[in-house]
Amino acid sequence: MNISIFGLGYVGCVGAACCAKLGHHVIGNDVSENKVNLINQGKPTIIEAEIDELVKEAHDRGLLEATMDYHYAVHNSEISFIVVGTPSSKEGHLNLNYIYNVARQIGEALRDKNNFHIVAVRSTVLPGTNKKVGEIIAEASGKVRGKDFTVVSNPEFLREGTSVQDYMNPPLTLIGTDSEIAEAKFRELYKDIPAEFISTDIEVAEIMKYVNNTFHALKIVFGNEVGNICKALGIDSHKVMEIFCKDKQLNISPYYFKPGFAYGGSCLPKDSKALRTLAHDYYVTTPVISAIDPSNELQKKIAVDIIESKGRRKVGILGLSFKAGTDDLRNSPIVDVIEVLYGKGYEIHIYDKNVRVSQLTGTNADFIAAKLPHLHDIISDDLDAVCNACDVLVITNKEKEFASVPEKYPNKCIVDLVRQFKEVDYAGNYEGISWGNINHNPAQEMKLDRDMAKTEF
């Protein structure tokens, strides 16, 4: 396959050498004459483990060349990678001028090229950049995206010092595209890379690098804060985190990584508070760990705001316990939401077949007595009665019987706190707490009739 790579800096040089290693012919392009000359001499533009040998080998085999002529690069390739810098301003915004300048050059070169061309944004960019790049190319070329060219997002996951190994053995290969032609080409391009190939929505691919790196930063800071607490207690922090990482079912796993409602129950609130208190008692500052509870409280407020935005007075809560299959109400986050709504004058109806108010004892009884002393009057084990009586239905856990709610109760406002549905075709109004765009019915966009204004205190 013939590849052109625009930008011969760190990522571009590694990508050029590794693509050539995979057997592809690569043309590098850069505004720096020095970088172009280095590649054409079989020398890398960076210092990095293994890169010297790869560049020399690719050059000697005739698989790697470089030019300052962007027309030549585009006309002699099927895929053009954009791998230029995106420096940050002091406020954190990205300077995308280099990206856009290259897009314009590629567009100009495509004016007199007849073959379908794929442009791949490899640089780390924010969602929406791919769309803008496509617009610039279309304007500069006079051609149509999807017909004459397409733009995919193909983020890199390289670490300095091990970038060659990371390129050849990545955790996954990711592209964001709306083109079947591009997906097929990239599957062919990366067929010898031993990693799962994932094709997804363009904006999903665009945001992944930011999510990854922010989480990596969070892991470092969390580990450091745990270490600081352990040091104050005379505990070996490395032994603690070594054991922590051995749990692949909960700690290092997909578990808990699903956007949704706030956490609750008897363990997470109590134990995270205990660790914060322990740190405080030993005068250890833990800003990340201390921010966990306020962030959780914010998710409850977001739920209240979404429910209020529907402008309807009668609200049905489907599920009172903090998760499906239990009657445990201790620190159930929906209880706090109900308490706020009730205080603002909303008519609340609750359905939960697992909760028997008359049988509540111990901590459960004390918790409800303090939070919802009137629970007896508003809870029911009749799902039909609650749904028919209310205009807004709030799904709080994944009980199987809630899966049929959109079909059985049309034209209600559904607020989904747990991603009960992967997608819906629902005539009523649907909104997820931390996701959107899963309702395919245009009725979703109809203006809501409101019978209750949002109350501010």
Question: CA 131, CA 275: separation in Å to the nearest integer?
Answer: 45
Which candidate, 333, 224, 237, places its Cα nearest to that of 285? Answer: 224
Q: What is the DSSP letter of 417?
A: S
Which candidate, 123, 88, 89, places its Cα nearest to that of 103? Answer: 123
Nearest-5° Cα angle at 373, 367 to 379:
95
Rg from Cα positions in the chain: 28
* Annotation says 390 is catalytic: no
Question: CA 328, CA 359: separation in Å to the nearest integer?
Answer: 12
Residue partners of 58: CB distance under 8 A and separation at least 6: 16, 17, 20, 21, 26, 42, 64
Task: Provide the token pair at 180.
Answer: 């079947």
- Of residues 13, 19, 245, 267, which has the active-site annotation? 267
In sign, the C-alpha dihedral spanning 91, 258, 226, 171 is: negative
Look at residue 413 and give its three-state secondary structure.
strand
Give the H or E element holding residue 26. Answer: strand 25-29
Whole-number Cα distances in Å, 250 to 11, 255, 323, 332: 34, 5, 17, 21
Longest dimension (CA), the chain: 83
In sign, the C-alpha dihedral spanning 67, 71, 72, 78 is: positive
Question: CA 27, CA 39: separation in Å to the nearest integer?
Answer: 10
Question: CA 297, CA 262: separation in Å to the nearest integer?
Answer: 7
Question: CA 268, CA 206: separation in Å to the nearest integer?
Answer: 32
Quick check: 82 and 73 in contact, CB under 8 A? no
Quick check: 102 and 7 in contact, CB under 8 A? yes
Question: CA 334, CA 352: separation in Å to the nearest integer?
Answer: 12
Q: Which residue reads 């949002």 in tokens?
A: 454
Q: What is the DSSP letter of 325?
A: T
Question: CA 147, CA 144: separation in Å to the nearest integer?
Answer: 5
Give the H or E element holding residue 223. Answer: helix 202-233
Total residue length of the chain:
457
Catalogue the active-site residues. Answer: 267
